[in-house]
């Protein structure tokens, strides 16, 4: 009799386990992600896989089954709706929690039913007795109840705040700090920038008091942006300035993403909706896949030791030769010779052109020196620090700040960096730079928008005398 019951337990357990492994799986939306959930034989806890970034494990309970959650892909429509709607963004944590609870409850029911069916079928096929399926169901029910009871008795909610990371996610804490702090900071950050970005139109109206870029009033207007780092507010600012300033094209000197990963790359196709040419070079945070996705957009040109003409202005550009999204490795500061060699290769290409280009685009300013004297203007980014300087042979180097305020990782500090971009005015005949408007949107704790126009080659004393002072635009704070 003991042998018979041992066989019954073994058959029920084996049948239930095989059935669970083969069939107990559910697919469900969790926030902007499409996810797959399943229980697998393992010593308890939960694992969330985020391909290709890695995974995080939480030792939340004990037992013979582990909850596996795999975030398969990002739904573009849900992600864009989340990024552009501050109301949805504010409730994202609650929404993800509700989605996850609903999916887990559904998975539990599916797992129970599949396990009972597998145990019953296996017992009937092997023992061939009518009552064996019922006995197998009873045994399996007891085993499942014991598993659930053990999990409930050992439930450790505090473990949720102490996950173990693998892969690129090992850097999650160092990049963004506490998730709770990030949500709180981004809430305040996004709230303060909502009014700022919306008021770019009002800011534009103040330009009537500034000196005109040229005596004739004819200019090609280009917008220089850089280092958005996937910040939704950076995309908002780009769109607003492009529309209000009626630019003829947008020049992006790279780092549109943070890691160049597939989930990020699904969000950058929004640049294809802009109604002007978009010229882009890859930054050290952008992958080759990022560049490929952008190149597929109808209005985007990706430069790679190549040239393009926008509104009559000839532009050359080269990407950052490195891909170093993980700053903790120290690789971001390495390879100066690699950067200089990249600049030399772009200079060699420039010399082959029949017509001298007006602008060269590089990501890191260290790529610029070989271009000195070959082109009148070099645009760069990378440093998140806006600088304008004249190189030894007369080339003007303009390094942009960060149009995305250094992205969401900047929220780890006390205050995020300001969002910056520059509107360039060029002579349509010669391509010479006539003037530029430096636009700065203050971040959290500095809620102001400023614009400063610089006339290239103008007498500073004459400019100061003729141009009325422009006060920073300070919109009402969200609390008002």
- Mean of the per-residue pLDDT values for the chain? 80
pLDDT value at residue 88: 54
With b meaning 16 or more CB within 10 Å and e meaning fewer, what string describes 198-223? ebbeebbeebeebbebbeeeebbbbb
pLDDT value at residue 210: 58
pLDDT bin (cut points 50, 70, 90) of residue 83 is low
pLDDT value at residue 204: 54
pLDDT bin (cut points 50, 70, 90) of residue 330 is very low
pLDDT bin (cut points 50, 70, 90) of residue 333 is low
Q: Is 384 within 8 Å of 402 (Cβ atoms)?
A: yes
The full set of domains in the chain, from first to last, is: 2-175 (no CATH), 200-325+335-466 (3.60.21.10)
Backbone angles phi, psi at 111, to 5 degrees: -65, -45
pLDDT value at residue 471: 37
Q: Tell me the two tokens of residue 176.
A: 């963004």
d(CA 101, CA 86) in angstroms, rounded, equals: 23
Inform me whether the pLDDT recorded for 411 exceeds 60.
Answer: no
pLDDT value at residue 205: 54
pLDDT bin (cut points 50, 70, 90) of residue 405 is confident
Inform me whether the pLDDT recorded for 36 exceeds 70.
Answer: yes
Inform me whether the pLDDT recorded for 467 exceeds 50.
Answer: no
Model confidence pLDDT, tens digit, residues 299-329: 999 999 999 999 999 999 999 999 887 654 4
Q: Which of 13-22, 77-86, 400-409 has the lowest mean pLDDT?
A: 77-86
Q: Indicate if the alpha-carbon torsion angle 110, 111, 113, 118 is positive or negative.
A: positive
pLDDT value at residue 250: 98
Better-scored residue on pLDDT, 28 or 76: 28
From 207, 200, 247, select the one nearest 224 (Cα to Cα): 247
Neighbours of 32 (CB within 10 A): 24
User: Can you point out the beta strands (E) in 128-287?
Assistant: 164-167, 220-225, 249-252, 278-280
Exposure on the CB side of residue 459, measured as CA atoms within 13 A: 4
pLDDT value at residue 45: 87
Q: Which of 71-85, 203-217, 433-447 has the lowest mean pLDDT?
A: 203-217
pLDDT bin (cut points 50, 70, 90) of residue 90 is low
Q: Is 342 within 8 Å of 318 (Cβ atoms)?
A: yes
pLDDT value at residue 462: 43
Report CA-CA distances (Å) from 123 to 21, 111, 413, 443.
Answer: 18, 18, 61, 66
From 158, 179, 127, 107, select the one nearest 12 (Cα to Cα): 127
What share of the chain in percent tops pLDDT 90? 39
Better-scored residue on pLDDT, 441 or 300: 300
Q: Is 374 within 8 Å of 408 (Cβ atoms)?
A: no
Inform me whether the pLDDT recorded for 175 exceeds 50.
Answer: no
pLDDT value at residue 200: 53
pLDDT bin (cut points 50, 70, 90) of residue 261 is low
pLDDT value at residue 366: 95
Helices 132-153 and 2-23 cross at an angle (nearest 10°) of 70
Find tokens 């978009």 and name the residue: 278
pLDDT value at residue 216: 58
User: Can you point out the beta strands (E) in 110-262?
Assistant: 164-167, 220-225, 249-252
pLDDT value at residue 127: 82
Better-scored residue on pLDDT, 447 or 472: 447
Report CA-CA distances (Å) from 249 to 301, 379, 411, 423.
Answer: 11, 14, 30, 10
∠ CA 223-224-228 to the nearest 5 degrees? 115
Average pLDDT of span 121-128? 87
pLDDT bin (cut points 50, 70, 90) of residue 344 is very high
Cross-strand bridge partners of residue 199:
none
Average pLDDT of span 209-219? 65
pLDDT value at residue 258: 81
Which of 173-187, 215-229, 277-291, 465-479 has maximum average pLDDT? 277-291
For residue 8, what is the enclosing H or E element? helix 2-23
Inform me whether the pLDDT recorded for 114 exceeds 90.
Answer: yes
pLDDT bin (cut points 50, 70, 90) of residue 249 is very high
């Amino acid at each position: 009799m003991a042998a018979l019951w041992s066989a019954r337990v073994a058959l029920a357990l084996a049948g239930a386990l095989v059935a669970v492994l083969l069939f107990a799986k559910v697919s469900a939306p969790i926030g902007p992600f499409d996810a797959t959930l399943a229980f697998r034989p393992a010593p308890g806890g939960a694992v969330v896989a985020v391909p290709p970034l890695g995974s995080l494990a939480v030792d939340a309970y004990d037992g013979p089954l582990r909850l596996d959650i795999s975030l398969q892909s990002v739904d573009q429509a849900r992600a864009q709706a989340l990024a552009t709607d501050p109301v949805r963004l504010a409730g994202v944590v609650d929404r993800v929690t509700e989605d996850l609870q609903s999916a887990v409850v559904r998975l539990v029911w599916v797992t129970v039913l599949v396990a009972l069916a597998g145990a019953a079928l296996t017992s009937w096929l092997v023992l061939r007795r009518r009552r064996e399926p019922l006995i197998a169901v009873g045994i399996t029910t007891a085993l499942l109840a014991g598993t659930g009871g053990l999990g409930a008795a050992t439930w450790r909610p505090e473990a949720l705040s102490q996950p173990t990371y693998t892969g690129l996610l090992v850097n999650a804490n160092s990049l963004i700090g506490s998730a709770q702090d990030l949500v709180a900071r981004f809430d305040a950050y996004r709230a303060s920038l909502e009014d700022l970005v919306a008021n770019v139109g009002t800011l534009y109206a103040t330009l009537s008091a500034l000196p005109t870029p040229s005596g004739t009033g004819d200019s090609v207007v280009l917008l220089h942006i850089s280092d958005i780092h996937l910040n939704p507010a950076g995309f908002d600012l780009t769109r607003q300035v492009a529309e209000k300033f009626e630019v003829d094209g947008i020049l992006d000197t790279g780092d549109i993403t943070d890691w160049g990963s597939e989930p990020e790359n699904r969000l950058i196709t929004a640049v294809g909706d802009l109604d002007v040419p978009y010229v882009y070079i890859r930054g050290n945070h952008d992958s080759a896949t990022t560049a490929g996705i952008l190149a597929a957009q109808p209005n985007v040109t990706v430069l790679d030791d190549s040239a393009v003409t926008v509104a009559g202005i000839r532009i050359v550009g080269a990407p950052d030769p490195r891909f170093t999204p993980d700053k903790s490795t120290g690789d971001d500061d390495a390879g100066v010779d690699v950067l200089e060699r990249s600049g030399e290769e772009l200079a060699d290409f420039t010399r082959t052109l029949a017509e001298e280009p007006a602008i060269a685009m590089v990501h890191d300013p260290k790529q610029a020196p070989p271009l000195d004297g070959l082109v009148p203007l070099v645009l760069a980014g990378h440093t998140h620090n806006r600088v304008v300087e004249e190189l030894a042979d007369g080339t003007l180097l303009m390094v942009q700040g960060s149009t995305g305020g250094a992205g969401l990782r900047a929220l780890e500090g006390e205050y995020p960096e300001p969002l910056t971009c520059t509107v360039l005015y060029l002579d349509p005949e010669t391509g010479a730079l006539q003037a530029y408007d430096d636009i700065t949107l203050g971040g959290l704790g500095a809620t102001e928008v400023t614009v400063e126009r610089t006339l290239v080659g103008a007498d500073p004393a004459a400019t100061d005398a003729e141009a009325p002072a422009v006060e920073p635009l300070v919109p009402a704070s969200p609390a008002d």
